[in-house]
């Protein structure tokens, strides 16, 4: 990597947070295209429930950054209508738990209209929402329901887990003629670092190998990526080289990257903060057995959240979620014979 | 059966052994060598060999005669002698 | 009605080569008939069919290398080729009438006794008083469904209870012949199987299995280091590497050429001659390869035994005066083809001693001893050119020395010609190794897991022997016992050897 500045004149070594990266992407989008506007609960004056849109209403005005009533169904439906009508709305839903109130709009309208109109209507809508636990927000603000959305044909589901993806996924998501849901894991907002790899466009289809290894493939996404990388460090201390795959796109899944990695390591552990039952982890495990069965030298392992509503108490919440030590233990189990 | 020469008897023994040990290599087994050892003929094979020899020569071969079948030469001698 | 599958001919077999068919489609086969010859790493094996029927379709060609359990042929009901199947409807009524006129019992026996009689037996036995009403004609639906089923992974028809039972006993259902409706495996089918030991489902990861097939490693010979002993890729690679080292030492020239015959290679030279009488189609390089494969199989099995089985060894010298005299008397009036060798008496005594000491006759499975319900003696037979096979004399404790002799001769001859049958290589409950002919006096053998003991005999030799206060020269044999100390202690082994001794002092008793 060299240190050449990109076209916008910002050095790619700029230090910033995940939240700031998302904000920079929003600012770019609002500035670049007049059809783009942001709406949601408290995105304007308050600056967003998690501070992502802080300062944007002052910069772009209340027409482009709109506070909405507390009705996820209503403002998501408005977003769908605006998208059909030619605008490029970005709808922010405070948490994935609350998005259940908008699920009818997303599942029955956004995801279906292209199909039901024989291609006459498209819904170029972007929905951003916070997901996940780890901040003691208890069982109504902390769940990981990405897998439910990844179940639905007709929408694209993204999970940026790095500063770079937080910064760069929004533009291609807006360019997509179909609905795109972007999940921002709450534990990542304060993630700080340098914007490796610049601010240029990224693709929305491929998984990324965040760490190369030969002994076991750890497959994860979103808020579990930092924990999984930490687990890989623990494993490296034991002489086990883990390959870490960041899915990035939860729908469609990048099977090729997963299978290629499993074919190298012959062992896989899926790390998913969602509950195990009926989860993305289950889907990925099934695909591995479908497509790479004869590569497997151990059963596919899964590290998921305990099947309880996420607890409020800090120590219980921590115990309920996947942690680096547990991920490393599952990887050791898969690698087995080493010990 | 015509009078059996020692040469004929020798051939009969070799042929019978070949039936039991198809790839028997007689170039390595002289007339005075203990062929059972050289050709890995165990007691079961040996019983089969005696059976074949008795069948083909029409001679009676008792257990007490077995020591006389130790080498190819002995066996040929024994058969020729018993026949005459 | 069902599929004839690649049988598991020993615990170390994962695949076999179909060498030749001894039947063709349309042939009627009786239960137990030898219908194919399968080449394994050890030998050519004649394989029997376990049901009477008609060979509807052959699913494999000679030269095909197929995994255990792969369907080889479809066996339909004995009556399927009977003419009424294809007869026009109008004549069916006439034929039915004829059948109805025939006694019901005859129709039934025609259906069960191949070759088919002249009675059109495709018709079910008429119910009493059915008169001349058209009888239900058995349809061909089942047969055609079977015949057109793609040769993919075998579909196992078995209920949950049966599956559970099979799992508990370590039986691979794919190798079980189903006698239930539509070929379903019934509880009785599983229960009547000989104790597993051959045919145990091997725990191995999919990748390890794939790798084993690619590297031509026999999984049964690989020691698994994974959870619950599962074989992992690293175990297979290790076994393969060891084998290559061994081969490089043992067969330097062949190792360089490595002429592997695989399923896709069907050149005339590689394919076995399609003649029924061909005794050993694999010659030259192939037999060398087989020898090497057998060596590996023996190496792995024996290594596993010595690694896992804590052996104890006992030995005793037995006076064979009575036995030798008895043999001499017995042989005096016998034609050469019917004479007995001492081994017949030794086997008889061993088999009866095993019945007397059942603690040594069975299997060590899942940390416990499982006694066998019969005495099946596995007899170690050395092959010319190296290697050994252990064909089995079933129910040896019930055979006279005369019968044992006949069985032994037959098995040894066919073992050496590569003409053993599948059923003759499985089910051994105790192994006997007799190296007397090789000139040694005692055999301290290695147990063949999961068996728990091995009896050994050396040469019958004349030795000075004190008897009744006097010294004389007597024929004696050294009998040994290798015992699995997990299953038994030395005292049990001692009981066994003293029983062998006692039985050999009374050869008349063995013969009766």
Contact A126, A119 (CB under 8 A): no
Cα–Cα dist C203/C196, whole Å: 15
Q: Which residues on adjacent β-strands are paired with residue C368?
A: C365
From C383, which residue of chain B is nearest by alpha-carbon distance?
B40
Residue C484's φ and ψ, nearest 5 degrees, are -85, 110
Query: How far apart (Å, rounded) are the C-alpha atoms in residues A322 and A316?
Result: 12
Q: What percent of chain A has pLDDT over 70?
A: 94
For residues A263 and C468, the model is more confident at A263
SS3 at position A314: helix
| SS3 at position C234 | helix
What are the tens digits of pLDDT across the range B54-65? 888 888 898 888
pLDDT of residue A4: 40
pLDDT score at C66: 84
Domains, chain A, with CATH or none: 15-194 (3.40.50.970), 208-338 (3.40.50.920)
At residue C137, does pLDDT exceed 60? no
Residues of A in contact with C234 (CB under 8 A): 297, 337
- Give the whole-angstrom CA distance, residue C261 versus residue B40: 30
Residue B1 within any structural domain of the chain: no
**Which CATH number fits the domain that encloses residue B26?**
1.10.1200.10
Q: How confident is the model over A219-243, as pLDDT tens digits? A: 999 999 999 999 999 999 999 999 9
| Residues linked to residue A302 through DSSP beta bridges, in sequence order | A270
Please indicate whether residue B63 or residue C165 has the higher confidence score (pLDDT): B63
User: How far apart are the C-alpha atoms of A329 and A240, rounded to whole Å?
Assistant: 11
Average predicted confidence (pLDDT) for chain A = 93
Q: C83-125, pLDDT tens digit by residue?
A: 433 334 444 444 444 444 444 434 333 333 444 333 333 334 4
Instruction: Name subunits touching B (3+ CB pairs < 8 A).
Output: C
- What percent of chain A has pLDDT above 90? 90
Q: Work out the average pLDDT over A302-325.
A: 96
| Residue with more model confidence, C504 or C284 | C504
Of C336, C408, C412, the CB nearest to B51: C336
Which tokens in the block code for residue C142? 């089942």
Chain B residue set in contact with C, beta carbons under 8 Å:
21, 23, 37, 40, 42-44, 47-48, 50-51, 53-54, 61-63
Query: How near does any CA of chain C get to the CA of B5, in Å?
Result: 23
State chain B's mean pLDDT as an integer: 85
Point out which residues pair with C464 in neighbouring strands.
C473
Q: Please determine, for residue C402, whether its predicted confidence score (pLDDT) is greater than 60.
A: yes
ipTM score of complex: 0.78
Q: Is the pLDDT of residue C16 over 80?
A: yes
pLDDT mean over B21-27: 82
Cα–Cα distance, C351 to C504 (Å, whole number): 12
Instruction: Show the tokens assigned to A159.
Output: 């999970």
Higher-pLDDT residue of C110, A65: A65
* pLDDT of C238 higher than 60: yes
Band of the pLDDT at C200, cuts 50, 70, 90? low
Which of B43, B49, B78, B82 is most worth mutating to test chain C (most C CB atoms within 10 A of its CB)?
B43
Angle between helices B72-83 and B43-57 (to 10 degrees): 30
Question: Between these two residues, C252 and C435, which has the higher pLDDT value?
Answer: C435
Judge contact between A276 and A282, C-beta under 8 A.
yes
Say how many CA atoms lie within 13 Å of A329 toward its Cβ: 7
Top-confidence residue, C256 or C447: C447
Homologous superfamily assigned to C311-511: Chloramphenicol acetyltransferase-like domain (3.30.559.10)
Q: Which of B42, B52, B58, B70 is best to mutate for the C interface (most C CBs within 10 A)?
A: B42
Mean pLDDT over the full length of chain C = 74
Written as six digits, the tokens of A245 are 């795959």
pLDDT the model gives residue A76: 98
Q: Is the pLDDT of residue A163 over 50?
A: yes
Question: What's the domain range around B42?
Answer: 6-83
Q: Do C337 and B23 touch (CB under 8 A)?
A: no
- Any bridge partners for residue A154, and if so which? none
Average pLDDT over residues A6-10: 43
Q: Are A174 and A124 in contact (CB under 8 A)?
A: yes
Chain A residue with Cα closest to C235: A337
How many structural domains is chain B composed of? 1
What letter would DSSP give residue A179?
-
pLDDT at C276 over 60: no
Predicted local confidence at residue C361, as pLDDT:
95
Q: Would you state the pLDDT for residue C170?
A: 65
Check residue C461 and give its pLDDT. Answer: 93
For B73-82, write each residue's pLDDT tens digit. 999 999 988 8
What's the confidence (pLDDT) of residue C118?
38
Residue C253 predicted with pLDDT over 80: no
- Tell me which chain C residues have a C-beta less than 8 angstroms from the C-beta of A296: 205-207
Cβ atoms < 10 Å from Cβ of A38: 24
Contacts of C332 (CB under 8 A, 6+ apart): B62, B63
pLDDT at residue C281 in the model? 36
Q: How confident is the model at residue C12 (pLDDT cuts 50, 70, 90)?
A: low
Q: Among C331, C337, C341, whose Cβ lies nearest the Cβ of B43?
A: C341
For the record, the structure tokens of A324 come out as 């680096």
**Local confidence band at C286 (pLDDT 50, 70, 90 cut-offs):** low
Rounded to an integer, the average pLDDT of C479-503 is 95
Query: CA-nearest residue of chain B to C334?
Result: B62
**Section C235-263 average pLDDT:** 58
Q: How many beta-carbon pairs under 8 angstroms link B with C?
A: 40
Percent of chain C whose predicted confidence (pLDDT) is above 70: 67
Q: Cα(C279)–Cα(A76) distance, rounded to whole angstroms?
A: 80
What are the tokens at C392?
A: 């089995």
Question: Cα separation of A291 and A279, whole Å?
Answer: 18
pLDDT classification of C270: cutoffs 50, 70, 90: very low
Report the pLDDT averaged over residues C431-446: 90
A141 as an active site residue: the answer is yes
For the record, the structure tokens of C53 come out as 């029927």
Taking residues A116-122, report their average pLDDT. 96
Give the C window 204-223 contacts with A, CB below 8 Å: 205-210
Residue of B nearest to C439 (CA): B37
Model confidence, pTM: 0.47
What does the pLDDT read at residue A199? 61
A269-278, A288-297, C48-57, C319-328 — which is least confidently predicted?
C48-57
Q: Which phi and psi (to 5°) does residue A197 adopt?
A: 85, 10
Other Cβ atoms closer than 10 A to C95: 20
The more confident residue out of C260 and A255 is A255
**Which has more pLDDT, C192 or C445?**
C445
Q: Which residues contact C96 (CB under 8 A, 6 or more apart)?
A: C123, C132, C134, C135, C137
Q: What pLDDT does residue C147 have? A: 39
More confident residue, C59 or A90: A90
Q: What's the residue count for chain A?
A: 339
Residue, of A48 and C224, whose pLDDT is higher: A48
Q: How far is CA C132 from CA C95, C100, C108, C129, C236, in A?
A: 10, 6, 18, 9, 66
Assess contact for C457 and C319: CB atoms under 8 A: no
What is the predicted pLDDT for the residue at C68?
81
Q: Using pLDDT thresholds of 50, 70 and 90, give the confidence band for residue C268.
A: very low
Q: Closest by alpha carbon to A258, among A295, A230, A298?
A: A295
pLDDT value at residue C156: 53
Of A141, A143, A185, A266, the active-site residue reads A141
Q: Tell me the pLDDT band of A195, cut-offs 50, 70 and 90.
A: confident
C-chain residues near A297 (CB < 8 A): 205-208, 232-234
Active site residue A72: yes
Reading phi first (left if > 0) and then psi (alpha if -120 to 50, else beta), residue A191 is in: beta
C337 touches chain B (CB under 8 A): yes
Is the Cβ of C412 closer than 8 Å to some Cβ of chain B? Answer: yes
Enter the tokens of residue A260. Answer: 């290629």
Taking only the tens place, the pLDDT of each residue in C22-52 is: 888 888 888 777 888 888 766 778 788 877 8
Residue C97 confidence (pLDDT): 41
Which residue among A20, A72, A184, A283 is the active-site one? A72
Residue B35 within any structural domain of the chain: yes
Contact A294 C233 (CB under 8 A): no
Q: What is the mean pLDDT of residues C289-313?
A: 85
Q: Minimum mean pLDDT among A27-36, C136-145, C330-339: which range?
A: C136-145
Q: Which two tokens stand for residue C148?
A: 């057109």
| Residue C271 neighbours by CB under 8 Å, 6+ apart | C62, C63
Helix axes A280-291, A255-265, angle to 10 degrees: 60
The answer on pLDDT for A46 being more than 90 is yes
């Amino acid at each position: 990597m060299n240190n050449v500045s990109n076209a916008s004149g910002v050095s790619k070594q700029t230090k910033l947070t995940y939240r700031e990266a998302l904000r920079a992407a929003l600012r770019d989008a609002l500035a670049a295209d007049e059809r783009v506007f942001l709406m949601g609960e408290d995105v304007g004056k308050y600056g967003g429930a998690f501070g992502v849109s802080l300062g944007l209403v002052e910069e772009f005005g209340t027409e482009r950054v709109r506070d909405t009533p507390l009705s996820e169904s209503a403002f998501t439906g408005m977003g769908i209508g605006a998208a059909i009508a030619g605008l490029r709305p970005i709808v922010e839903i405070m948490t994935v738990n609350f998005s259940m109130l908008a699920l009818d709009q997303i599942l029955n309208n956004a995801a279906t209209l292209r199909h039901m109109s024989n291609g006459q209507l498209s819904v170029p809508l972007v929905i951003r929402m916070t997901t996940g636990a780890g901040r003691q927000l208890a069982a109504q603000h902390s769940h990981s329901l990405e897998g439910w959305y990844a179940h639905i044909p007709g929408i694209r589901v993204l999970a940026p887990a790095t500063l770079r993806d937080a910064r760069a996924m929004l533009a291609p998501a807006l360019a997509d003629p179909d609905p795109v849901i972007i999940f921002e894991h709450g534990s990542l907002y304060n993630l700080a670092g340098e914007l490796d790899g610049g601010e240029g466009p990224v693709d929305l289809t491929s998984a990324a190998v965040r760490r190369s290894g030969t002994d076991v493939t750890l497959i994860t996404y979103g808020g579990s990526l930092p924990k999984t990388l930490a687990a890989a460090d623990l494993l490296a201390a034991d002489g086990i080289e883990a390959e870490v795959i960041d899915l990035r796109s939860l729908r469609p899944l990048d099977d090729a990257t997963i299978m290629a990695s499993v074919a190298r390591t012959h062992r896989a552990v899926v790390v998913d903060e969602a509950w195990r039952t009926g989860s993305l982890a289950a889907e990925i495990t099934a695909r591995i057995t479908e497509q790479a069965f004869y590569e497997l030298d151990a059963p596919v392992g899964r590290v998921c959240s305990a099947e309880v509503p996420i607890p409020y108490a800090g120590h219980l919440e921590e115990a309920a979620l996947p942690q680096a030590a547990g991920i490393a233990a599952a990887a050791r189990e898969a690698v087995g014979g080493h010990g | 059966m015509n009078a059996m020469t020692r040469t004929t008897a020798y051939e009969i023994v070799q042929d019978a052994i070949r039936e039991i040990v198809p790839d028997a290599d007689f170039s390595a087994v002289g007339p005075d060598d203990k062929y059972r050892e050289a050709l890995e003929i165990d007691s079961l094979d040996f019983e089969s060999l005696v059976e074949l020899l008795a069948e083909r020569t029409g001679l009676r071969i008792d257990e007490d005669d077995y020591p006389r079948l130790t080498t190819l030469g002995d066996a040929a001698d024994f058969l020729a002698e018993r026949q005459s | 009605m069902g599929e004839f599958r690649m049988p598991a001919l020993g615990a170390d077999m994962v695949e076999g080569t179909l060498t030749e068919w001894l039947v063709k489609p349309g042939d009627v086969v009786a239960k137990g008939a030898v219908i194919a010859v399968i080449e394994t790493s050890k030998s050519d094996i004649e394989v029997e069919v376990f049901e009477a029927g008609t060979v509807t379709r052959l699913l494999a060609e000679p030269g095909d290398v197929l995994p255990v359990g792969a369907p080889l042929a479809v066996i339909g009901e004995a009556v399927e080729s009977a003419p009424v199947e294809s007869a026009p409807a109008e004549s069916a009524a006439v034929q039915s009438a004829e059948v109805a006129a025939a006694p019901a019992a005859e129709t039934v026996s025609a259906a069960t006794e191949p070759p088919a009689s002249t009675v059109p037996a495709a018709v079910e036995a008429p119910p009493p008083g059915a008169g001349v009403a058209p009888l239900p004609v058995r349809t061909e639906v089942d047969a055609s469904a079977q015949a057109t089923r793609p040769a993919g992974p075998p579909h196992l028809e078995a209920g949950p209870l049966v599956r559970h039972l099979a799992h508990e006993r370590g039986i691979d259902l794919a190798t079980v012949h189903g006698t239930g409706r539509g070929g379903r495996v019934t509880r009785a089918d599983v229960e009547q199987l000989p104790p597993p030991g051959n045919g145990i489902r091997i725990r191995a990861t999919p990748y390890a299995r794939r790798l084993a097939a690619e590297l031509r490693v026999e999984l049964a010979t690989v020691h698994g280091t994974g959870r619950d002993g599962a074989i992992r890729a690293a175990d297979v690679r290790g076994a393969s590497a060891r084998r290559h080292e061994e081969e490089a030492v043992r067969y330097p020239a062949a190792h360089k050429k490595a002429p592997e015959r695989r399923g896709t290679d069907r050149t005339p030279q590689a394919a076995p001659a399609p003649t029924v009488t061909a005794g050993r189609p694999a010659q030259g390089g192939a037999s060398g390869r087989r020898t090497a494969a057998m060596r590996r199989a023996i190496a792995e099995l024996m290594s596993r035994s010595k690694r896992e089985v804590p052996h104890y060894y006992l030995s005793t010298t037995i006076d064979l005066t009575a036995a030798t005299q008895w043999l001499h008397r017995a042989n005096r009036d016998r034609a050469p083809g019917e004479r007995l060798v001492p081994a017949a008496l030794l086997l008889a005594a061993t088999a009866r001693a095993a019945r007397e000491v059942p603690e040594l006759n069975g299997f060590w499975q899942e940390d416990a001893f499982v006694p066998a319900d019969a005495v099946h003696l596995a007899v170690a037979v050395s092959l010319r050119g190296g290697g050994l096979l252990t064909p089995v004399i079933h129910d040896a404790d019930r055979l006279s020395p005369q019968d044992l002799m006949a069985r032994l001769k037959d098995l040894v001859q066919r073992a050496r010609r590569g003409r053993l049958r599948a059923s003759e290589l499985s089910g051994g409950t105790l192994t006997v190794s007799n190296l007397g002919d090789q000139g040694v006096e005692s055999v301290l053998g290695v147990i063949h897991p999961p068996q728990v003991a091995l009896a050994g005999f050396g040469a019958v030799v004349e030795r000075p022997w004190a008897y009744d206060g006097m010294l004389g020269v007597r024929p004696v044999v050294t009998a040994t016992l290798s015992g699995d100390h997990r299953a038994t202690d030395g005292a049990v082994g001692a009981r066994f050897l003293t029983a062998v001794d006692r039985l050999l002092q009374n050869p008349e008793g063995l013969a009766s």
